[in-house]
């Protein structure tokens, strides 16, 4: 994880201007970072310096207590546009802070928020697992973890990791969240050989073995089962969809720049494809904007969970289709010469193809269909 001992002096209040400069730096560095075994260490230092890590904490511009989800989604999209791997890790940080906002006790919240503000801590959220998934086991009076998580994005950068697993003891039974201090995990337990993906290499989404870690009571987040609470669980898909759309936006802009360089923008076939690509990207922005508005209106009212989840599911699958369409048109626009280094398209292409693979894509579409079969007049007003 990142050593944060020397960063106290460089934490600033969030500044959009500074943030925009950071996004340009992140974009310029993306090709180098992909090949850096340490991952996007500098990128997260820059994000910390411009106040982006604390952006959603109380009193900050996107304070979760005064939700502005459309603005949050635009910001996540912008980070994804600069570098999808950085966007993935940053989204995990924001997601974890949201679960803390929803479910932590006052002392826990103060402690974890202080870690972000004063120590520059990065949070991650790791739920995915294989056969040897996580269990929390009571040994005498202590609670000990057994098992591993897979796809741990930012495993070598994250300071506090929200992990989930089964707990079964007299006080607690079910799927429990805990926030682990990564200083307590031997770096050897992060399996660097476990990440040989098509794209998103810089996300360093390694397998981490947590066996032997002793969990303190104040590291347990919420009651067992609450992680899956709706509409927050499925409704949250709009955040990763926002990051994905950033990749499509980056591809379309890189395509225009490439065609300009080759003086091919006057060609009608190219223009037709550019028209399709840009329309698709703008459509994606509209999905996100409306999904954000519904989220702010409905997430906490308890009466519109089904509508909210259906809209989030539609947003997710439509953005997947949009990204696939943009990739195909980009591919045809730039051809083989454009799909190699030093042009950025080949990397973004690999990253986006891979990052689009999120859980249960078919089941999500089935859920959308079921919703409209049961509510044919939904979203009519």
Q: Give me the residues that bind ligand FAD (CB under 6 A), please.
A: 88, 92, 125-128, 151-153, 200, 203, 205, 354-355, 357-362
Q: How many CB atoms lie within 10 A of CB 2?
A: 20
Q: Smaller CB distance to ligand FAD: residue 98 or 151? A: 151
Output 2 or 334, the one with its CB closest to ligand FAD. 2
Helix (H) / strand (E) containing 36:
none
| CA–CA dist 56, 68 (Å, integer) | 10
- DSSP codes of every residue in 53-71: GGTTSTTSTT-TTS--HHH
Residue number, 203 or 270, with CB nearest to ligand FAD: 203
Between residues 205 and 313, which has the closer beta carbon with respect to ligand FAD? 205
Q: Could you tell me if 281 and 252 are in contact, meaning their C-beta atoms sit under 8 angstroms apart?
A: yes
Distances (CA, A) of 336 to 100, 199, 331, 332: 46, 18, 8, 9
Provide the CA 138 distance to its chain's centre, in angstroms.
Answer: 32
Closest distance between ligand FAD and the C-beta of residue 356, in Å? 8
Name which of 221 and 334 has its Cβ closer to ligand FAD.
Answer: 221
Closest approach, Cβ 41 to ligand FAD, in A, equals 17
Residues 107, 221 contacting (CB under 8 angstroms): no
The least distance separating ligand FAD from the CB of residue 125, rounded to whole angstroms, comes to 6
* CA dihedral over 317, 322, 323, 325, signed as positive or negative: positive
Residues 118, 4: Cα–Cα separation, whole Å: 10
Supply the minimum distance, in Å, between the C-beta of residue 365 and ligand FAD: 9
Closest distance of CB 278 from ligand FAD, Å: 26
> How far does CA 236 lie from the centroid of its chain?
10
| CB of residue 155 to ligand FAD, shortest distance in Å | 8
Instruction: State which residue, 69 or 127, has the beta carbon closest to ligand FAD.
Output: 127
Q: Which of 112/206 has CB closer to ligand FAD?
A: 206
Strands 123-126 and 190-191, by their bridges, are: unpaired
Q: What is the DSSP letter of 177?
A: E
CB of 151 to ligand FAD, least distance (A): 4
Integer Cα distance of 143 and 6 in angstroms: 32
Q: How far out from the chain centre does Cα 183 lie?
A: 22
């Amino acid at each position: 994880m990142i050593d944060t001992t020397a960063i106290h002096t460089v934490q600033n209040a969030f500044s959009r201007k500074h943030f925009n400069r950071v996004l340009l730096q992140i974009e310029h560095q993306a090709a180098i970072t992909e090949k850096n075994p340490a991952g996007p260490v500098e990128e997260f230092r820059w994000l910390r310096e411009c106040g982006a890590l604390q952006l959603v904490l109380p009193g900050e511009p996107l304070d979760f207590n005064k939700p502005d989800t459309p603005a949050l989604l635009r910001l996540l999209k912008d980070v994804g546009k600069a570098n999808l791997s950085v966007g993935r890790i940053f989204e995990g940080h924001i997601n974890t802070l949201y679960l803390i906002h929803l479910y932590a006790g006052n002392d826990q919240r103060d402690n974890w928020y202080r870690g972000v503000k004063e120590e520059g801590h990065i949070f991650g959220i790791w739920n995915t697992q294989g056969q040897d998934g996580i269990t929390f086991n009571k040994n005498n009076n202590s609670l000990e973890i057994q098992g591993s998580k897979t796809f741990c994005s930012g495993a070598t950068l994250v300071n506090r990791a929200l992990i989930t697993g089964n707990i079964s003891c007299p006080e607690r039974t079910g799927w429990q969240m805990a926030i682990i201090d990564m200083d307590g995990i031997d770096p050897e337990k992060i399996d660097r050989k476990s990440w040989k993906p098509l794209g998103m290499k810089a996300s360093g989404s390694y397998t981490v073995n947590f066996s032997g870690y002793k969990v303190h009571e104040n590291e347990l987040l919420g009651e067992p089962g609450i992680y899956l609470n709706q509409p927050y669980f499925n409704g949250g898909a709009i955040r990763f969809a926002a990051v994905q759309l950033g990749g499509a936006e980056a591809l379309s802009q890189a395509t225009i720049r490439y065609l300009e360089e080759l003086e091919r923008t006057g060609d009608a076939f190219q223009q037709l494809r550019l028209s399709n690509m840009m329309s698709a990207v703008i459509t994606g922005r509209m999905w996100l904007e409306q999904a954000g508005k519904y989220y702010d209106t409905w997430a906490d009212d308890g009466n519109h969970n089904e509508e909210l989840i259906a809209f989030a599911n539609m947003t997710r699958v439509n953005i997947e289709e949009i990204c696939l369409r943009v990739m195909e048109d980009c591919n045809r626009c730039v051809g083989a010469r454009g799909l190699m280094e030093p042009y950025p398209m080949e990397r973004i292409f690999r990253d986006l193809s891979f990052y689009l693979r999120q859980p249960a894509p078919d089941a999500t579409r089935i859920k959308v269909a079921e919703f409209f079969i049961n509510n044919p007049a939904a979203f009519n007003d």
